[in-house]
């Protein structure tokens, strides 16, 4: 179990704020994000990656948690933005993000999204497949600047993570196969396209990884490809994008990845490879999402029904569930939590935390040790900063929770709670 701060009232403290007071002030369920912790992670990216390696660049995978305020925090932190849809581009532009610092991903970008990104001047397109090239061809040459492209490859490595967040395996829906003929045909086509500039290659092996072996294996394959296409097509890759996927702590068995353990061996390999061939060093991008904001978030709920089935289990039901946290039902994700108003109490009871949706599978946590739990208690679930707000739905017409930012004892509302009017606003 993680360590957490408790004040003299026995309340959980997060970002310097009494979480019970936050629950009273903003009501529940509520996402609380510690801005200080996000800044600390951004600073670590600068000190272990951007500063030691002048050819290093980092972009934040905004699908993890995108608000206009988060876009500004990330930009101030010296990172660009990875975007995966017209919606993410729209929000990033609304936040004032420089489009040339955006990297556009996706395995099925629509013609409208490609036009929107090209017109806005998005800095890099990560092309996923041959069909996307057809669409891109229609846009190319229209703007003043060429469209800069990296090709996403499927490195064919298995990452040790849940199947649904593994993306680098050979049968993945993402990326271009490395089968020589197909690969060379696509690369050649991009090289010959007017108004398009091929910069290099991209991989992303998976998410929530604790070990660097999948990244290193994928990098070996990528560098092999760099050699081969220089030989066969005369193309010199000037940019390599190594994706994200650095893991965080959710529950026992996890650990927060040390970024240095991932980037140092990769940079060493890349820089040595380019030196040995007397080629100028390429720009190297990483794209962390979860690692930047996952541990910076908690969700506060109010306990409602406490149902004891004698000799079997106790269900503690909260005022949210799979609409604000679909990860347990998607990936069997594990979490830790504490009663925020009884954070110092000994945890003598084992309970299951149930959501309020009409699904038996809507269970947030199994076998959670807690203090003496009663209706009206506040439950704080940890590590909910990434892929929660951004994945939230309105299933059962629940209202999506607000986002409150905290920092050294100060709090402010960043995203308001949804209203019933919002729920029907689109209905004609
Ligand atoms: C999701 C994703 C990321 C970020 O993954 P994290 O596990 O959140 O770091 C980076 N790059 C690509 C292409 C992705 O799809």
Atom number in ligand 1 closest to CA 202? 13
State the distance from the centre of ligand 1 to the C-alpha of 348, rounded, in angstroms. Answer: 38
pLDDT band at 138 (very low <50, low <70, confident <90, very high): confident
CATH entry 1.10.1740.10 includes domain 35-293 = no
11 lines ligand 1 (CB under 6 A): no
Instruction: Report the distance separating Cα 133 and Cα 127, nearest Å.
Output: 7
Residue 403 pairs in a beta bridge with 31, 415
Q: Tell me the average pLDDT across 317-324.
A: 98
Atom number in ligand 1 closest to CA 386? 8
Contact 19, 379 (CB under 8 A): no
Mean pLDDT of the chain: 95
pTM: predicted TM-score of the whole model, two decimal places = 0.96
DSSP one-letter string for 308-357: EETTTEEEEEES--TTT--HHHHH-----EEEGGGTTS---EEEEEE-SS
355 lines ligand 1 (CB under 6 A): no
What is the gyration radius of the CA atoms in the chain, in angstroms? 23
Q: Tell me the average pLDDT across 224-253.
A: 97
115-134 pLDDT, tens digit per residue, is: 999 999 999 999 999 999 99
DSSP one-letter string for 49-111: IITT-TTEEEEEEGGGS--HHHHHHHHHTT-EEEE-SHHHHHHHHHTT--GGGEEE--SS--H
DSSP one-letter string for 150-190: EEEB------SS-GGGB--STT-SSSB---HHHHHHHHHHH
156 lines ligand 1 (CB under 6 A): no
Atom number in ligand 1 closest to CA 288? 9
Contact 383, 250 (CB under 8 A): yes
243 lines ligand 1 (CB under 6 A): yes
DSSP percent split of the chain into helix, strand, coil, nearest 5: 35, 25, 40
Write the residue with the smallest CA distance to atom 3 of ligand 1.
244
Q: Domain boundaries in the chain? A: 5-34+295-424, 35-293
Instruction: Report the distance separating Cα 381 and Cα 82, nearest Å.
Output: 27
CATH number of 5-34+295-424: 2.40.37.10
**Residue 275, C-beta contacts closer than 8 angstroms, at least 6 positions apart:** 281
pLDDT band at 156 (very low <50, low <70, confident <90, very high): confident
pLDDT of residue 118: 94
Q: Tell me the average pLDDT across 185-206.
A: 95
Q: Tell me the average pLDDT across 413-419.
A: 98
Q: Tell me the average pLDDT across 46-67.
A: 98
Annotated catalytic, 358?
A: yes
């Amino acid at each position: 179990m993680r360590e957490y701060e408790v004040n003299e009232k026995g309340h959980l403290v997060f970002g310097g704020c009494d979480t019970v007071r936050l629950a009273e002030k903003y009501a529940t369920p509520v996402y609380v994000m510690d801005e200080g912790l996000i800044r600390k992670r951004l600073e670590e990216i600068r000190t272990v990656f951007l500063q030691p390696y002048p050819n290093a660049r980092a972009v934040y995978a905004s699908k993890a948690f995108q608000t206009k305020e988060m876009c500004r925090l990330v930009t101030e932190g010296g990172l660009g933005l990875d975007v995966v849809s017209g919606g993410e581009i729209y929000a990033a532009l609304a936040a004032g993000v420089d489009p040339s610092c955006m990297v556009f991903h996706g395995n099925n970008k629509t013609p409208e999204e490609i036009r929107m990104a090209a017109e806005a001047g998005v800095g890099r397109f990560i092309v996923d497949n041959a069909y996307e090239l057809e669409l891109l061809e229609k846009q190319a040459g229209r703007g003043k600047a060429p469209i800069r492209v990296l090709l996403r490859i499927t490195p064919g490595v298995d990452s040790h993570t849940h199947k649904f967040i593994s993306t680098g395996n050979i049968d993945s829906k993402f990326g271009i196969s490395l089968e020589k003929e197909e690969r060379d045909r696509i690369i050649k086509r991009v090289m010959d396209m007017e108004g398009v500039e091929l910069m290099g290659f991209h991989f992303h092996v998976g998410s929530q990884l604790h070990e660097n072996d999948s990244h290193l294996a994928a990098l070996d394959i990528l560098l092999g490809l760099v050699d081969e296409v220089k030989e066969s097509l005369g193309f010199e890759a000037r940019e390599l994008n190594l994706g994200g996927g650095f893991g965080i702590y959710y529950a026992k068995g996890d650990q927060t990845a040390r970024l240095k353990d991932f980037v140092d061996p990769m940079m060493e390999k890349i820089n040595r490879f380019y030196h040995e061939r007397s080629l100028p060093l390429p720009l190297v991008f990483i794209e962390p999402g979860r690692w930047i904001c996952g541990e910076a978030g908690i969700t506060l709920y109010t306990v409602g029904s406490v149902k004891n089935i004698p000799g079997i289990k106790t269900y503690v039901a909260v005022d949210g569930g799979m609409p604000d946290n679909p990860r347990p039902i998607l990936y069997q994700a594990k979490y830790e939590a504490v009663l925020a108003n009884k954070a110092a109490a000994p945890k003598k009871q084992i309970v299951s935390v149930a959501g309020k949706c009409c699904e038996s599978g809507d269970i947030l946590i199994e076998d959670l040790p807690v203090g003496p739990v009663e209706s009206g208690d506040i439950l704080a679930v940890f590590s909910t900063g990434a892929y929660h707000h951004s994945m939230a739905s309105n299933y059962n017409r629940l209202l999506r929770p607000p986002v409150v930012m905290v920092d050294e004892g100060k709090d402010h509302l960043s995203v308001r709670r949804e209203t019933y009017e919002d729920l029907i606003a689109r209905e004609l």
